[in-house]
Amino acid sequence: MAVTTIPTAGIANDAVDNTKLDLSSNYAFTGTVTGTPQDLVRLTTTNYSSAVSEFDFVDFFSDTYDNYMFTGRGVLKAQSGAIRLQFMNSSSAITGGNYDWSYGKGSRSRSDSDYFTRASDSTYIQFTEESHDNTTSFIGWFDTTFKANSSKIVVYHGVATNWSGNGAVNFTFSGMYHGTSTLNGFKIFTSGGNFSSGSFSLYGVKKS
């Protein structure tokens, strides 16, 4: 005869293991499960479906993490243009010429002859171009290890893809800030036109 109810006091601490629980079943938890690996922690997600000129991610850089992952999914723009990034000090964007950046670009069509773009002492980091009403996706990585040094260096690098008149376009990008301002976040914006829909997520990577 199957026993359907067992008093809690009647269960030994080591009595329940993976031979007693069906790990292929679904379980509904109403509390918090602790002790599981959570090295990648989602800090925020922004979903949007209307015209927005920029997105600010303020007060997300802290001593809790040195590295952050930033993703853009299904990003659409009202008109073709570049996507750019500036770091922030409190709620103000840092606009001084302390950014260096470059990216390589590969396209499906070899008729596109512009395969790299770069800038030094710029006022922003540019990491993709020709982003418009065909989806753009990207994944970027922030290294803020030296954000508290006297010469504050923060690196942002990653990959992006979108669709242009020459077909699929892929970018490998890298940029850095090398100034003296305290950084606590960043913003993304466009070279022209608004973002019209998509989703952005920021994750903190736990220190080892």
Domains of the chain (ranges; CATH) run: 38-206 (2.60.120)
Strand partners, 122: 99
pTM: 0.79
Question: Cα-atom radius of gyration of the chain, to the nearest Å?
Answer: 23
Return d(Cα 54, Cα 86) in angstroms, integer.
Answer: 11
pLDDT value for 28? 77
* 10-residue mean pLDDT series, the chain (208 residues): 67 68 74 71 92 93 94 90 93 93 80 73 92 88 88 90 77 93 93 91 91
Other C-beta atoms within 10 Å of 86: how many?
22
Return d(Cα 150, Cα 203) in angstroms, integer.
Answer: 26
Return d(Cα 103, Cα 117) in angstroms, integer.
Answer: 6
Name residues whose C-beta falls within 8 Å of residue 72's C-beta, 6 or more positions apart in sequence. 83, 136, 137, 138, 139, 160, 198, 199, 200
Taking CA atoms, 125 is separated from 4, 29, 89, 167, 187, in Å, by 62, 43, 16, 24, 11
